[in-house]
Amino acid sequence: MIKVGIIGATGYAGQELVRLLMGHKDVTIKYYSSKSYVGKRYDEVYPNMLNIVGDICVEDNLVDMAKEVDVIFTATPHAYISSLINEDILSNAKVIDLSADFRLNNQAVFEKWYNIKHESFQFVEEAVYGLSEIYRDDIKNARLIANPGCYPTCSILSLYPLLKEGLVDKDSIIIDAKSGVSGAGRSVSLNTIYCEVNESMKAYGISTHRHAPEIEEQLSMACGNDIAINFTPHLVPMNRGIYTTAYANLLSNYSYDEVKEIYNKYYKNENFIRILEEGVYPETKWVEASNYMDINFKIDNRTNRIIVVSAIDNLVKGAAGQAVQNMNIMFGLKENEGLNIVPIFP
């Protein structure tokens, strides 16, 4: 059995990790760590876990935890884990970090966008960006995984085949994205209380959202040239889900079938990416509580632009599910172990 510790187990992503790992036949969770609920039973914090997880929440202690587990999941605020990580921890346990601490390869870019000093940038060079469908071979031998953000997961996978094959103008990309409120986390904030969110929709972080450089870096690596995008996220009144609509200029007059063949080349054999039939476009409800990503596209012949639409659950494929997928790859397990969850509906 793989022994697991979870730092930040009482946040939304941490709770989703617990939910998924409780159904994983090769895993036992040894530590539920939380800053806010030390000494409380886990099912007191999340009553949906009643008679399922009655363990006591403990304080964060990565050094001691690493000596007793095989892998540590860190679902914490940005810059927290980078202030604690060290060689002793990584020599004893693998770490899958759900924050942004190790996602960006440029320290100055990280510190500019997150307005935080990075305390352990020496580990970024060895960290593997945990987008399983793209970096599977590197993930297999990694000891530190930078689990991608929710918006980047949906955005990068939407556009990666087009840029990798040189089908679109790299300078023409616009990404319009929507997120459910759980993406903001469990902490109380005026902007995410019921009366502020219900019956409303708003853009935020226009041209300044922290996920933009993450998306740009990965798409730049796909095409071999620096990319700058317009990325606009929106908050919508639903609990879960990421919905992205990406636009780009095509470099030639491609048919639907030609582009579909490109997507099939990259994703046809991927367990968690579902390419929909022509004329059928994703809905967040179709992937809710699952690790699936649904994707399709439309070619606008009038403007010779391609419009790519995709949907994921922000807490699963956009966070905890992808982290479990990465763990499975790292430990040589079936990639879908613990993740064969049928999306809930309605």
Residue 195 known to be catalytic: no
Tell me the C-alpha to C-alpha distance, in Å, between residue 85 and each of 6, 7, 80, 102, 297: 14, 12, 9, 11, 41
Provide the Cα torsion 101, 105, 111, 117; round to 10°. Answer: 60
Alpha helices by DSSP H, the chain = 12-21, 42-45, 62-66, 87-92, 107-114, 132-140, 150-164, 194-197, 211-223, 256-267, 321-330
Q: Which helix (H) or strand (E) holds 190?
A: none
Catalytic residue among 150, 154, 195, 223: 150
Question: What's the one-letter identity of residue 37?
Answer: Y
Q: 196: buried, middle or exposed (CB in 10 Å: 19+, 13-18, 0-12)?
A: middle
What's 285's DSSP letter?
G
Return all residues near 246 (Cβ < 8 A) that are at least 6 apart: 155, 158, 159, 173, 174, 175, 176, 307, 308, 309, 310
Question: Could you check whether the bond before residue 346 is cis, i.e. omega within 30 degrees of 0?
Answer: yes
Q: CA-to-CA distance for 128 and 10, rounded, in angstroms?
A: 25
Catalytic (active-site) positions: 150
